[in-house]
Each structure stands twice: as structure tokens, then as C-alpha cells.
Amino acid sequence: MTVKDIFETMEYGPAPESSAEALAWLADRGGIAGPYVNGKWGPLRDDMSIHNPATGERLAGMTKSTPEDVGAAVKAARKAQPAWAKLGGHGRARILYAIARLIQKHSRLLAVIETLDNGKPIRESRDIDVPLAARHFYFHAGLAQLLETEKPNHEPIGVCGQIIPWNFPLLMLAWKIAPALAAGNTVVLKPAEYTSLSAMVFAEICTQAGVPPGVVNIITGDGDTGAALVASDVDKIAFTGSTAVGRLIREATAGRHIALTLELGGKSPYIVFDDADLDSAVEGLVDAIWFNQGQVCCAGSRLLVQETIAEDFHARLRRRMDGLRIGDPLDKCIDVGAIVDPVQLKTITDLVDAHPEGDHHVAATPLPATGCFYPPTLITGLSPASPLMQTEIFGPVLVGTTFRTPAEAVELANNTRYGLAATVWSENINLALDIAPKLTAGVVWVNGTNMFDAAAPFGGVRESGFGREGGWVGLSAYLKPKTTGKTLKPIAPHSGSGGHDGLDRTAKLYIGGKQARPDGGYSREVYSPKGALLGHASLANRKDVRNAVEAAAAAKGWGKTTGHLRAQILYYIAENLSARAGEFANRIKDMTGKDGNKEVEASINTLFTYAAWADKYDGAAHGVPIRGVALAMREPVGIIGALCADDAPLAGLIGAMAPAIAMGNRTVLIGSEAYPLAATDLYQVLETSDVPAGVVNILTGSHAELAPTLAAHLNIDAVWSFSSTDLSETIEKASSGNLKRTWVNNGKSRDWTNPDADSFLPAATETKSIWIPYGE
Amino acid sequence: MHTQTPTKSDTAQLPQLHLPRNDGMELDMDWVARVQANTSAIERRAATLPGRRSVKKQFQAAWLCKAISCIDLTTLAGDDTAARVQRLCAKARQPVSPELLDALGMTGLTVGAVCVYHDMVETAVAALDGSGIPVAAVSTGFPAGLSPFHLRVQEIKESVAAGAKEIDIVISRRHVLSGNWQALYDEMRAFREACGEAHVKAILATGELGTLRNVARASLICMMAGADFIKTSTGKESVNATLPVTLTMIRAIRDFEARTGIKVGYKPAGGISKAKDAITYLAMMKDELGDRWLQPDLFRFGASSLLGDIERQLEHHVTGAYSAGWRHALA
């Protein structure tokens, strides 16, 4: 075309970034992506092929690491870990800083390789992925520097197996490796099968930065390799990927005393109120669902628009979609690149084709003739029941419906198994700041979307996984307390044959603020160590668990109460317990044979501790690089089921209950199996202490029998186990149903005279990051 | 659309009269009250646009030629003289050296208009005779707009009588800042009426309106009152044309078209001095409003030094060597 022709048509024309340097880089290294273990490459085998999804061309071969290769990498990491931890925070900070600088120095190579491999637009890899990856290492260099003074009671977990997805290969690598290294762990990281090339560049950066051999190990391969890593001798698995695979990993790691964090899928709501800046909200959707071709776990993929503006908004949106430019990802003038692989393209195509309901608008913009491309698509007029409103599509497909009121918007937004992110558009600060905390999500963006920073924790609730990445909260997922308990011996109930002294007293269950007979109609005798009959305790069954959870669910207002109110109630419990201290001490003595006074005092101290924390476990305002603020709000986890300690029948129950309810959770507590009567005696204390019905529910019975029901219950958000019966594997495995958080003792004891707020408060809360850009 | 041909002056730049003019509409305060402009989001869009759009090689050359065709070559200085304006008009006729234009296949390219104060209108009209390049006059007590109202109206009439085809009026910022929307509407109406056949560009002086929301409101009201163009700045405010302000104003233009079917033009003015900036502005117009707004009857740059940078870039395109300022004729 001549200048004159273009002067008339005003087309953009091609603006390609060169791939020559990147391809030469690959060729110089033999054109094979393979393991980087103990600071060395290999074995390099052409087991698999890596393709450019935009063209279908082969970019490189790849080693499919065998379980032996994986074992060698884990061994190298194990060997390197003590010295890496011993290097100290400052020593590690220097190396993380060097990595950050080297990422910047090789920024264009990384960006081009990422785009060739993944198909994302060069603008995104250049302006978003690579700078955020560098930022992550800078930030964590700082955390490493401060670690010893800020977290003196913690130490690294050990060897971390890390499995990352193909949508942000370098960025997810950074999110995984930076905190692990900062905390003193060593890693074995498996990049995704489709996208292993930027990890090769990163491996070279590690060598240049002076990362000691074995501290960072990278193993290439497919799902089998990942499974081998999960099965290997690691101390932690950190996974980002699909909910289905996350569930398999949860099951595979159950009972192995392995720390686990999962960052999984989402179907994040994008809510537009009628007072929003509609054009800006439309533009936000470009960043929400057409960023990285919609292959983003936190993509705003579920559009909820207020009815009054829906027609106008959809018209503006369709017009904007028609202006999106799709094409060669290396072109600096395109908005939407290639889908990562033909397999993913088929998944998207099949899902959309299978559900013709709703109004489909396909962007009126030309698609390249070849390569893996899917057009930006909007499907409106759906109902919450439509499968496309519930299923994660992981592609450039936006689905939507309308709402009438703010309350309905929240209800629709939360009508999902996921809980990763949410977006709210409104110019009304009252509305926006009212809605944000009500959304079930780990991240909420107000008048913006897909904003990320190393300082602001990112992660989900519900089936979007657990654990946070970023900030001190994210770092804590790579640390453990220095102290560990002793091995717990299972405590069996005492036996005996004596009859009852005095008037018979029946200990029922405590459900919904009332004492209830057990559904099964069974009780068992409770004897003293010398065989005297102390009373009868009910044997709860699965239906009692169901009833208790229903009562807890009905008490949802508890999470919205003020910390001040919750503190008052905890103090009141302490007051009423104190008034009956002697009676409780005697009961403990009768059941255990040990002096009970200390345990009662410890329980009162614990109640005071969490009453104190109830209005003091503050969130944070993170310094993120925008004009605005990223709030980290502490929210209750929801309904927590806890198998309470057998050895400390009162302090163990209070020790779990107090932090949970102080943070606004509702609880289903299973009292000590061997010594249940301290728990049942507590009913009257709770009844006289203004604890709202359903906030605390107490069952007694067999831990082994009740644990699977608790762990599998889909309306329980977390299960804790301090039982002397080691139920860790049972609980972790059964928890995969709704991917509830678990906190198990792995058969270790705990000192119940220490409230241990360091451990309990994080377990009793979720961190929600709320991004609020501002400026007029 | 057919625009420039080198030989016929009557097909030249502006205004292209085949679009219906904006006759305006009743003041619709409900609409004005609904206007929202989220500053952070608008700034984000503006900040990422240059990274999303890029034109290279002959495309870049063509876009820069387009930018030239949309320039209101301007002199608004207290020391303007007839000779100074005549020089400017000569540059308007031949904005780029004939050799470069020949090499680009763009012989005959001129700027969009020449913009001067009232006293220079006759000089400019005479100097541009036969070129088809219209003369625009800044008016209504430019730049502050604080002279007596009847004199401001009279100034328009005299500039039109002197041969100005376009009148760049300034709004009374105090009407916006005091929320007197009716007064703003009435003033704009009066100015439009005084212009008669001449096209009217409403200068909002966005740097003095305080908020983007005010920019959006003022944009809408001026369009309701019959502005043919809305324009950012006089060039005399401390903040002149910016991308966020542009986005706010052209989104208002888009809304106005969606509601009335009428296309209103846009003119950023002040502070646009680099070829790269000009391309970003054109890309924003293309992406937000569409290709139709890339013609000089709907888009102008108010600029004085932009042309020099474009000339250097065009020479680089033709020769492959980076250029020097002194190789290109002064205005």
C-alpha cells in the first residue's frame, strides 16, 4: 500500500516485534527445554514439542522429566536447603535483588519468548508480565531482608514443590519462587507443559544472580511429571491451576504432613451499577475478560449489570468489542492474541457451542486465517442456572445477566462455587464500599480490574483455593512455627462399672443454642480413672453434624457483628466460667485424675486473649503503586468445624472456640472424646453469656466417626483437628469436596495453656484485598 | 471519503459540508446530571493506549501526513504582525518540502486551517487565497472570555465578516464552576447564532474546569447548544490538551452522536508537539470514535510546533537518516 492509500484508509498496518533474538537464544541452547537441577542443565531430550500457538510452528523440544529426574531435583533441593536458610535474610535478599535486576536486564528476551510460547500479546508480556515478575522479586528481596526481625518465631518449611499454569508462565514462576526463596526454602518448580521456555531464561538468570546450586530447580514435563512431583519427598506443594487438578493434589497430599496452597479457578463477577462511568466500565471489561484472551483465573467473566442500564451498557460493550484487534501476538498493535493451544481452543469452542442459549455477540473483527484464535464473545440474557454462568470457560467469552438491587447483585455475585475475585463499578462510595466486603472473593477491585502487586495478597476462597500470594500473608505460606508439639498418644476413655451417685443428669448436644438429644438416641457412660460413673455423654452421628451446621449457617449475622460486641461476649463467657471455676476444675479432676484448676485458669486467659484480639486483629492498607489504596481486610472464614483436644477437655475446646468466634466465625465443635463432660458442662455457661444461637454448636462422640462427615460437609469452610486420634489424612482427603481449608495436628500435641494467637488468628481469618483507586 | 487533491482548491480541507451541521437541541439537564467520569479509569485507559497502538513504516508516514492535514496552524501572540501571519500562511500551503511530499506521493498536502486573532483574519484570508485553506479566528475575548458579552458576540460577527470560516470561541468557565448550566447553554447558543455559516469550535479551557466530570458536562452542554467542534484549550492555560481530557470529551461526542445522530468534531489544543503524540491522538480518535473522525472536518490539532517534528520524522521515513530541524522551512 502506498502512503497515499493508507492516508485514505487510515489502517494501522503491521507493527511486529522481532522474534529473531529469541529464536537465536533458543537455537544456541540446542532448541530443547529441559530440567535445570543443581545449577546444571539436563537431561535434554526431545520427548515433547513446544509450539507457537499463533502459527503452529515448533519452537523447541522438551524433556519429559521422569520420576527419577524429579527425585534427583528434590534431592538436590533437600541438600541445598540448610545452607540457603543459613545464608540469612540479608544474604538471600542480595540474591533476590540480583534476580529482579536481571529480569529487567533481559526484559525484552523474556517478553518475546513468553509471547512466542504462550500467544499473549507482546504488549502484555512487555508491559505487565515481565515488570510484575521483576517487582515480585524486588518486593521479596525486602521481605527476606526484614524476615528475621519481623518473624523471629518462624523458620522455612523446607523443600517446596511448585506447579504453575500456562497462562502467566513467568509471572506465576515469580509468584512461587520469590516468597519461597525469601523465606529460606528451596524449590522444585514445574512449568506448564505448553509454556516452559521463559523458565529456561529464568534458570540462566538464577545462575547469573549467584543462586547456589540446588536452591532453584526446574523440571519440565507434562501432568505425569507434575504428579511425580506431588508424590515426591517435598515439604510443601504450591499449585496454581485448575480446580479439578487442585482437588487431585489435595487428595494426593492428604496425611503426608505436607503444607499446601492452591490457587485455582474462578468465575469472577463484574458488577456494574447504574451510577457507574459506563464507558470506563466497558473499557474495564477489555482488561477483565479480553486480557490474555480471557485465560486468567481471576478474569471478570460473569457480567452483572443493573437492569436500568443494561441495554445501553451492552450496546456500548458490543461496539467496543468490535474495535478489538486480534492477531499476531508479536504485533504491538493488537489487543487479543492466540489461545495457548489447540486443546484449549477446542475446550472453549465446545463449551460455547454446547450452550446456544442467550444472545451471542461475536466481535465483528477479523480473525487470522490460521493459528489458535477465538473471537471475543459476549453472551447476555443468561440466568444464573445457565451452565455458562457457572462453568469457568477460560477463554475470551463473557457471560452475563442483570440485577435489580444492590442486594440482588451481591446474591448473584456470590451464587458460585468459586471465590477468587470480583469487580464493582459505581461512582457512589457508599455503595461500592458496602458491596466490596459482601462479595465472596479474595480480591475485590473497585472501579478497575485485574490490578496486581506484590504487596497486595492475592488468592481465593471456596473452590478457588486457599493461601495467599503477595505481602507478609503470602510469605507466611512458606514459613512454619519453630516449635513443634510432641507426638500425641490416643487417649482412650476410662472404663468402669459403678452406678450413679445422686440425681441422674443427662448431657445432650448443644445445637442452635438449645440442648438437643442425639439423633441416633445413643449415649455412653463416662467414668473416672478409678472407674466411678461420672455421667452419660451423647453420641452424635452425621445427622447431628448436619443439624449443627444448619444452625451455624443460620447464624450468619455473627460475621457482621462488631469486634467490640464479640469481645464483650467473650469476656462474659470468661466471667461466667470464672464464677463456676471450682466446679469445672473438679469435673476435670474427676475425668482426668489431674488437677483442673490450671486448665480452667488457662481457659479464662484464652477467652481474655481473644476478647482482646476481637477488635484488634486489624487489616492493612498496602502501599501499592497506584493512586489509591489496597485494603487488606480480615474476614471470618465462615463455619469452622473443630475436633477438639482430648487431653485438655476444657482448655482445648475454649482454645479452638475463642479465636474462631472472636474473628466472627461460627463453629461446630466436637468435644474431647475421652473426657466429654467439660464440653457439655459449658452449655450452661454459653447460655448465660449472650452467645447467639448457632454461633457455637457442641457435639460429643467419636472423633473418627464424625471427622469424615465434618470434612466432607460442603457448607463447612474449614476443619481443624486437635484430636489425639490422628485424623489428618481422613480430614485432608475428605476436604477436597469443597476444597475447605484444613488445619490438622498431624498427631502432634499442643500446649493449651498458650493461646497461640500467632497460629490461631490467621487460621480463623481470610485476607480480602480490596483495591480502591481514587482521584477526581 | 475523498479529501485532498492537489490541483483543486475547492475540494480542500475544511469544513467538509456534506455532514449535517449540529443544530443543537434543548438543554437536557437530566442527561447532564447523569454524566460520570471516573478519573482513575480514564487515566488508565489513556496511559495504556500508546502501548496498545503502534504504526510503522509507510503506515506511520501516512498517519503523520494525516496529522498534518488536521493541523490548525496557529499563531496567537501579542507580537503577531502581517508579515508573520503571511509566513505562517505560506507554511500552511506548503507544510512539508515539495521534494519530501513528492517522495511520499503526497504532493499538494496542506494543513487543515490557519488560526489567528481577529485582527489578522483579513491578512490570512488574503494570504491563503486560492488555497482552499480556511481561516479560523479565536474570538469572544480569547483567552479569558471576560470581556462584555455584547462585545464578544460582536467580535464573532466581525471575524466572520472579515472572512473567517471558523470561529474558536471560549466558554465562560465561571458558568461551569458555579454550576450555572443554563447560562453556559445560552451563551453557547448566542455564539453559535452569531457565527452564521461559519463553523464554531467551543473551547472549554479544560485546565480550568477542575474535574473531568465538569469537562464531560461542559462538552455535552456545548454540543446541545450547537457547537460544531469542542476544543480542549486556548493553549494559554497551565494545563492544555491531555489524553484523559481527550477521552472524556470524545466519549461525550460519542454519546451525543448515539442520541442525536449528529457528529461533532474534536480539537485538542496546546501541548501536542511530538509526532508520536499526534499518532496517539489519532489512534484514540480511531478506536473510540471510528475512522470517520480521522478527517479534518471532524478532527483538528491546535498546534504550532508539532509540524516541525512531523517534518523530521517524514524525512527520516524517506531517507532512512534522522533529520535536523534546520533542514525544514520555518513557519
Contact with chain B for residue A274, Cβ under 8 A: no
Put simply, whether A284 touches B (Cβ < 8 Å) is yes
Q: How many structural domains are present in chain A?
A: 3
Radius of gyration of chain B (CA): 19
Do A159 and A293 share a structural domain?
no
Residue A6 in contact with partner chain B when CB distance is under 8 A: yes
> Which cell goes with A451?
490490578
* pLDDT, position B5: 38
DSSP state of B327: G
Q: Which of residues 412-431 of A touch B (CB under 8 A)?
A: 427
Condensed to tens digits (0 to 9), the pLDDT of residues A623-644 reads: 999 999 999 999 999 999 999 9
Query: Would A485 be classed as within a structural domain?
Result: no
Q: In this complex, do A123 and B52 lie within 8 Å of one another by their Cβ atoms?
A: yes
Q: Are residues A242 and A155 in the same domain?
A: yes
- What domain range includes position A386? 269-459
A255 and A283: one domain? no
Query: What pLDDT does A499 receive?
Result: 74
> Is A248 in the same domain as A285?
no
Q: Is residue B13 part of a domain?
A: no
How far is A116 from A127, CA to CA, in rounded Å?
A: 16
Q: What are phi and psi of A413, to 5 degrees?
A: -60, -40
Q: Are A350 and A233 in a shared domain?
A: no
Cβ atoms of A161 and A236 within 8 Å: the answer is: yes
Contact B38 A447 (CB under 8 A): yes
B39/A776 CB distance under 8 A: yes
Name the 3-class secondary structure at A449: coil
Residue A3: closest CA among chain B residues belongs to which residue? Answer: B62
Residue A312 pLDDT: 98
A713 and A574, same domain (yes or no)? yes
- Whether B80 is catalytic: no
- Asked if residue A466 is part of any domain, the answer here is no
Alpha helices in A235-355 (DSSP H): 243-253, 278-289, 310-322, 342-353
Note whether A234 and A319 are same-domain residues. no
Distance, in Å, from the CA atom of A559 to the CA atom of A571, rounded to the nearest integer, reads: 18
**In a shared domain, residues A398 and A536:** no
User: What is the count of structural domains for chain B?
Assistant: 1
What pLDDT score does B9 carry? 43
Residues of A in contact with B213 (CB under 8 A): 776
- pLDDT of A213-222, one tens digit each? 999 999 999 9
C-alpha dihedral, B188 to B194 to B198 to B199, nearest 10°: 0
Residue A470, in any domain of the structure: no
A157 and A236 housed in the same domain: yes
Provide the CATH number for the domain around residue A176: 3.40.605.10
Query: Are A278 and A254 part of one and the same domain?
Result: no
Same domain, A219 and A308: no
Would you call A694 helix, strand, or coil by DSSP?
Answer: coil
ipTM of this model?
0.95
User: Annotated catalytic, B168?
Assistant: yes
pLDDT tens for A659-704 read 999 999 999 999 999 999 999 999 999 999 999 999 999 999 999 9
Q: What is the pLDDT along chain B (331 residues), one digit of tens a residue?
A: 343 333 334 444 444 457 999 999 999 999 999 999 999 999 999 999 999 999 999 999 999 999 999 999 999 999 999 999 999 999 999 999 999 999 999 999 999 999 999 999 999 999 999 999 999 999 999 999 999 999 999 999 999 999 999 999 999 999 999 999 999 999 999 999 999 999 999 999 999 999 999 999 999 999 999 999 999 999 999 999 999 999 999 999 999 999 999 999 999 999 999 999 999 999 999 999 999 999 999 999 999 899 999 999 999 999 999 999 999 999 8
The CATH number for A365's domain is: 3.40.309.10
Q: Specify if A469 maps to a domain.
A: no
- Specify the pLDDT at position A504: 77
Counting one residue from A and one from B, how many pairs have CB atoms under 8 Å apart? Answer: 108
pLDDT of residue B8: 39
Tell me, what's the pLDDT at B3? 39
Question: Per the CB < 8 Å rule, is A277 touching B42?
Answer: yes
Distance from CA of B102 to the nearest CA of A (A): 11
Instruction: Tell me, yes or no, whether A237 and A337 share the same domain.
Output: no
CATH number at residue B229: 3.20.20.70
- Chain B residues touching A4 at Cβ < 8 A: 62, 104-106
Please report whether residue A347 resides in a domain. Answer: yes
- Sheet containing strand B166-170, edge to edge, reads B265-267, B229-231, B199-203, B166-170, B135-138, B113-116, B71-74, B301-303
Beta bridge mates, A259: A236
Residues in chain B: 331
Q: Which residues in A lie closer than 8 A to residue B242 (C-beta atoms)?
A: none
Please state, rounded to an integer, the average pLDDT across all residues of chain A. 97
Number of residues assigned to chain A? 776
Would A772 be classed as within a structural domain? Answer: no
User: Looking at the domain assignment, is residue B7 inside a domain?
Assistant: no
The answer to whether B142 and B111 have CB atoms below 8 angstroms apart is no
The answer to whether the CB atoms of B40 and A773 lie below 8 A apart is yes
Q: Which of B168, B277, B297, B309 is catalytic?
A: B168
Q: How confident is the model at residue A484 (pLDDT cuts 50, 70, 90)?
A: confident
B-chain residues near A335 (CB < 8 A):
52
Q: List the alpha helices (DSSP H) in chain B.
A: 29-34, 39-52, 57-69, 82-93, 98-104, 121-127, 149-161, 173-177, 181-195, 212-224, 243-260, 275-288, 306-319
Q: Is residue A553 part of a domain?
A: yes
Is B38 within a domain?
yes
Residue B17: its pLDDT value, please?
Answer: 52
Residue B328 lies in a domain: no
pLDDT at A483 over 90: no
Q: Where are the alpha helices (DSSP H) in A398-512?
A: 406-413, 429-438, 471-476
Minimal CA separation from B282 to chain A, in Å:
9
Q: Which of A4, A15, A127 sits opposite B106 (nearest CB)?
A: A4
Could you say which of A459, A494, A529 is where a domain stops?
A459
Residue of B nearest to A274 (CA): B34
In a domain, A88, yes or no: yes
Q: Pick the closest to residue A301 from A134, A183, A202, A420 (CA basis).
A: A420
Active-site hit among B231, B263, B277, B297: B231
Asked if the Cβ–Cβ distance from B59 to A627 is below 8 Å, we say no
Q: How distant is the Cα of A407 from the closest Cα of chain B, in angstroms?
A: 23
Phi, psi at A173, each rounded to 5°: -60, -45
The verdict on a CB contact (< 8 Å) between A448 and B51 is: no
B331 belongs to a structural domain: no
- CB–CB contact A280 B62 (8 Å): no
pLDDT per position as a tens digit, A744-754: 999 999 999 99
